[in-house]
Amino acid sequence: MNILIIGNGGREHAIAEALSKNKETKRVYISTHNGGANNKILNAGLPNHNIESIDNFLKNTQIDLVVVGPEQYLSEGIIDHLESKGIKAFGPRKSAARLESSKAFAKEFMEKYQIPTAKYFQYDNYDAALAGLHEFGYPVVIKADGLCGGKGVSICQNKKEAVQALTDIFHNRIFGDQGAEIVMEQFLSGFEASLLCFVSGNKIYPFDTAMDYKKIYDNDLGPNTGGVGCISPNPYWTADLDQQSNEIIRKIERGLAAEKLEFTGILFIGYLVENGKLYVLEFNTRFGDPETEVLLPRLQSDLLTNMMQAIEGKPVELDFAENVAMTTILVSQGYPGKYETGYEITGLDLVDPGILVYHNGTKQIIDPISDQKVKIVTNGGRVLSIVAVKDNLEAARQAVYNNIDRIHFDNMSYRTDIGKIMANYKS
Ligand code: GLY
């Protein structure tokens, strides 16, 4: 079986590694370029976000399954497009992907099916939104309705910041049409938990939990990122939260069926725990990054089998090991702002057996004469996910940081506190 994965980051590398474990898998192609490519995981080298080039690739290469990573493709209906051509594809159709691509649609869904979430209102113009600020205290959360690459959410500490956020969205149109509507919602304080789930025939099969570290600096300081560390299971998750989550899942299943969303793929429930109560912050309709890098190494069942079960509308038989996985992401200094790339990465050959290295933003430099790999260089803000899977969190933490000490590239930066118990995260 040959598989094409659309996307090119650490998430796609982890999916490729997991899919390549199945003995039926002959080749896994990553649609653009991932520096972790080897003799089974190959780079298709297609331009990013170009459906025409994907179509051409599919015409010229025997592909039996397409797996879609990033949300932009799903929101534009790539699954509908591939299915219309008779190509087997894993992911939700455009109608179901709206649970991620429209914040307003997701909130309406939550309200309609009594899924606990923060109080909210939606607005499509500046004046109404400005008046709506009176409904909330501060901080208040302002979210552009559409996909904004993780930049569409502002937590405004006072009226000045809120007015600026509304001006940027409605007058300066910094998100273009993705900001044509907004959701304004009550700020909830607590800690976040990520729950990825397979969805098959509108039935939900949850993975084990994970905890993403979104802030760039230690102690959860600095700007938000795409995620610079992750652990699974989430150490603050309790049996009571599990019970609340199961009730929420049943409500989501009822909603998916009633709305005839025919969801197939991954539903990622972004939870927030405030004073022991679970709220849904957001839905994503794809694998999370870096959650995937810590969840898939703990998966005992076969990922390809699980994906096929979902595509065929069968029960998804998931199985997770009773261990702990942790990743710290090595980033280019300056990320999530401006950063430089092209620096050689050394020491990857020195990591201990069992330590996993997923490539987020790297590039292989190939000698044009010998066709051999000469070196690997940095090629993004998030560069490498260093993952350890151990019996407990402390052992995983030590293994990750011991191995990071052997890896080097100029301008390398990373958080040093991933996996440390946070005093402010209490269930
Ligand atoms: N880690 C959060 C996300 O994938 O959106």
**pLDDT tens-place string over residues 124-147:** 999 999 999 999 999 999 999 999
Mean pLDDT of 231-248: 97
- Please say whether the structural domain 2-98 has been given the CATH code 3.40.50.2300: no
- pLDDT category of residue 49 using cuts at 50, 70 and 90: confident
37 confidence band (pLDDT: 50, 70, 90): very high
Q: Report CA-CA distances (Å) from 286 to 59, 149, 265, 322.
A: 25, 14, 7, 24
Overall fold of domain 119-186: Dna Ligase; domain 1 (3.30.1490)
Q: Dump pLDDT digits (tens) for 254-308.
A: 999 999 999 999 999 999 999 999 999 999 999 999 999 999 999 999 999 999 9
Which of 269, 291, 360 gets mutated to test ligand 1 (max ligand atoms within 8 A of its CB)? 291
Instruction: Determine the distance separating the centroid of ligand 1 and the alpha carbon of 299, expressed in angstroms.
Output: 19
pLDDT tops 70 at residue 424? no
Please check the confidence at residue 314 and state whether its pLDDT lies above 90: yes
What's the mean pLDDT when you consider all of the chain?
Answer: 96
- How confident is the model at residue 426, as a pLDDT? 58
- Mutation choice for ligand 1 from 289, 293, 382, CB with most ligand atoms inside 8 A: 289
pLDDT of residue 371: 85
Tell me what the mean pLDDT of segment 362-367 comes to.
Answer: 93
Average the pLDDT over 388-416 and give the result.
Answer: 98
Mean predicted confidence (pLDDT) in 172-195 = 95
**Predicted pLDDT of residue 373:** 82
pTM of model > 0.75:
yes
Residue 427 has pLDDT above 60, yes or no: no
Residue 97 scores a pLDDT above 70: yes
Contacts of 66 (CB under 8 A, 6+ apart): 3, 4, 5, 6, 58, 82, 87, 88, 89, 90
The yes-or-no verdict on residue 213 having pLDDT over 60 is yes
Domain boundaries, the chain: 2-98, 119-186
Q: Flag whether pLDDT at 326 surpasses 90.
A: yes
Q: Convert 143-172 to b/e letters by CB count within 10 Å (16 or more is b).
A: bbbbbbeeebbbebeeeebbeebbebbbee
Residue type, 280: V
Q: What is the mean pLDDT of residues 363-374?
A: 89
288 Cα: distance to centroid of ligand 1 (angstroms):
4
Bridge-based pairing state of the strands 89-90 and 65-68: parallel
Distance 225 CA to ligand 1 centre (A): 9
